[in-house]
Chains A and B, each alone.
Chain A
Amino acid sequence: MTLEHQLADLHPLLLRFARAQLRHDSLAEDVVSETLLALLEKPEGFEGRSSLRTYATGILKFKIIDVLRARGREVPLEPLDEQSMDEALDALFQADGHWKDPPAAWQEPDRALEQAQFFETLQACVDRLPPRLGRIFLMREWLEMETAAICAELDITPNHCGVMLYRARMSLRECLDLNWFGETR
C-alpha cells in the first residue's frame, strides 16, 4: 500500500482526535492537514521506528498543543454546563459520604484493551463529556500534559483543574461501567 493510501486510511481517525480535542472543525482540519503534509514531506521520519499510526498521532499531538497554546486564553471556555454532572456525582454518595451503590470490580479489564470495540466505547464516553471537561481530560490523559501546564493554558486555578479532572474521571468510570463492563457481569 502506498503512503498516500495508508494516510488516507488514517485520516478519519486523526480528524476525530483533533476534533475531540480542539472542538473546532476548521482548526481540526488544519492540524490534520499539517500532520499529513509533514508525513508526506518527510516519510523517512518514521521508517523502522514505529507504526505510521503511532508516528502520525505523535505529530498530531504536537500540532494540537501548538494550537492550544496559540489560542490560549483568547477563546473563552464554554459556560459552565456541569451542574447536572455535579448533581449526578453527588447522587452516587449517601449523605454520610459512603457509596450508595458500591462500585463493583470490572472483570478482566486487560482483555478489553485488546478489543477495538472497547476503544470505540471509550471514545464515545469521552465524546459525551461536557466540552470543557472533555478538553481538559484529553489534555491530561491523551496529550499527557502536566496539570500545572493545563492550568496555565486555560488560566484556571489548580483546584478548579483538579475538580474538573475528578468529574471527568468519575463520569468516564460510570460510562464504561454502564456501557462496557456492566454487560460482562
Chain B
Amino acid sequence: MNERSGALLRLKCQEVSRLLSSGQDETLPPADRARLRLHLVMCRACRTVSDQFDFIRRAMRQLDHERPPEGTPL
C-alpha cells in the first residue's frame, strides 16, 4: 500500500454501517475489507453494530425453531 496518510483509509461510521451490511451479503473487495477492519479496531460503536448484525442473522435463522414454552426450566 502506497498511501501514507491514514486519512485516505479512514471511513466514517455511517459508511461503515453500510459496509457491514454489504459484508453480510457478499465478499467485500479487499480494499474495503482492509479499511473496515482498521475502522473496527478503532471504533467500539461500529464493533458493537457488527456484532449486532451477526446476532440478527443468527436469530433470524432460529425464528422457526422449536423452543420450550415460557417458564420451562432450561
Known pairs A93-B14, A119-B63, A147-B25; A169 contacts B55 (CB<8 A): no
Known pairs A116-B67, A116-B69, A147-B25; A173 contacts B12 (CB<8 A): no
Known pairs A98-B13, A147-B26, A166-B18; A122 contacts B49 (CB<8 A): no
Q: Which residue of chain A has its CB nearest to the CB of B26?
A: A147
Which of A34-42, A78-86, A105-113 lies on the face that meets chain B? A105-113
Q: Which residue of chain A has its CB nearest to the CB of B71?
A: A116
Which B residues, 2 to 45, have Cβ-Cβ distances below 8 Å to chain A? 12-15, 17-18, 21-22, 24-26, 44-45
**A residues less than 8 Å from B74 (CB atoms):** 114
User: B60 in the interface, Cβ–Cβ < 8 Å?
Assistant: yes
- A166 to B53 alpha-carbon distance, docked (Å): 10
Please tell me if the beta carbons of A99 and B22 are within 8 angstroms of each other in the complex: no
Q: Which residue of chain A has its CB nearest to the CB of B52?
A: A173
**A residues less than 8 Å from B15 (CB atoms):** 97
Please tell me if the beta carbons of A162 and B48 are within 8 angstroms of each other in the complex: no
Which B residues, 51 to 70, have Cβ-Cβ distances below 8 Å to chain A? 51-53, 55-70
Please tell me if the beta carbons of A119 and B21 are within 8 angstroms of each other in the complex: no
Please tell me if the beta carbons of B70 and A117 are within 8 angstroms of each other in the complex: yes
Interface bin, chain B: 35 or more
- A76 to B18 alpha-carbon distance, docked (Å): 27
Please tell me if the beta carbons of B52 and A122 are within 8 angstroms of each other in the complex: no
- A57 to B60 alpha-carbon distance, docked (Å): 13
Which residue in A96, A106, A113, A169 is a CB contact (below 8 Å) of B21?
A: A169
**B residues less than 8 Å from A51 (CB atoms):** 66
**A residues less than 8 Å from B64 (CB atoms):** 13, 17, 53-54, 57, 142
- Encode A86-126 as 1/0 by CB contact (under 8 A) with B: 00000001001111001111100100111111110011000
Give the 10 A-B CB pairs with smallest separation, nearest first. A97-B12, A102-B45, A141-B60, A166-B21, A57-B64, A97-B14, A93-B14, A147-B25, A53-B66, A105-B48
Chain B residues close to A by CB (< 8 Å)? 12-15, 17-18, 21-22, 24-26, 44-45, 48-49, 51-53, 55-70, 74
Chain A residues close to B by CB (< 8 Å)? 13, 17, 51, 53-54, 57, 93, 96-99, 102-106, 109, 112-119, 122-123, 140-142, 144, 147, 161-162, 165-166, 169-170, 172-173, 176-177
A-B contact pairs, 7 of them (CB 8 A): A53-B66, A54-B64, A98-B13, A106-B51, A116-B67, A142-B63, A176-B56
